[in-house]
Amino acid sequence: MVKKVLNIVSQGFRAIYEEQDDTILWLVHAMKNAGSDVSILLQGSAVTYIDTAQECPKLTFGAWKQSNPPNIIHDIEAMITKGISLYYVENDALARGVPAERIVKGVKPVKTSEVPGLFHKFDLVHQW
């Protein structure tokens, strides 16, 4: 039986420009591709990842121009399509003023008080 693993992502925007994605979201997606039963909980600054208004401008350094900037919304949608469950801490999103109507579809809200109940559904909880 494959273990069910909840992966908590709490540091948003950590290295997204240099990696062109969030390294933990990427890792979890790759783990899913490798057969793991993974889910994600976004909290803290990472809840901002679910705001569809985000758009990373392409950076330029001299003659080097970024052609493939990070697109976290696209990455999240790809994970949902792949069957990865994504949750976000609703209180953190509210506190940070993320407008409800701009939250990407398919990501499930969890109140802070409901987080322990979410933990109980998993064999392992990985706080990245």
Partner 1 sequence: MTSYVIVESQDLYEASNAKSTLELCKNLASSGSNVEIVFVQNAVLGLRGREFAGLLAETAKSGVKFHADLISLQARGIRGDEIPGFVVPISLDLVIDAMADGKKMIWH
Partner 2 sequence: MPKKTLTFALMDPPFENERTTTALRLIEAACRKGHNVNVFAYEGAVFMPFAHQKQHANSVKGTDLENENHPLTRIWVAELQQLAADKGGRLDWVNCGLCVDERGANDAITGIRRGSPADLVQFIEGSDNSLVIATR
Residues that bind partner 1 (CB under 8 A): 12-13, 16, 44-45, 48, 51-57, 70, 92, 94-98, 102
Cα–Cα distance, 122 to 128 (Å, whole number): 16
User: How many Cβ atoms sit within 10 Å of the Cβ of residue 20?
Assistant: 16
In Å, what is the CA distance from 80 to each residue of 34, 40, 76, 83, 84? 16, 10, 6, 5, 5
Contact between 45 and partner 2 (CB under 8 A)?
A: no
- Residues 41 and 88 sit within 8 Å (Cβ to Cβ): yes
Q: Is 35 in the site for partner 2 (CB under 8 A)?
A: no
Please, which residue, 16 or 42, has the CB nearer to partner 2? 16
Interaction of residue 128 with partner 2, rule CB under 8 A: no
Instruction: Dig out the tokens for 84 from the structure.
Output: 């990865």
33 is a site residue for partner 2 (CB under 8 A): yes
Q: Which of 8, 47, 75, 98 binds partner 2 (CB under 8 A)?
A: 75
**By the rule CB under 8 A, 21 interacts with partner 2:** yes
Nearer of residues 29 and 49 to partner 2, judged by Cβ:
29
Nearer to partner 2, 68 or 113 (CB): 68
Q: Distance (Å, rounded) from C-alpha 7 to C-alpha 127? A: 6
d(CA 88, CA 42): 5
61 touches which of partner 2, partner 1, none (CB within 5 to 8 A by kind)? partner 2
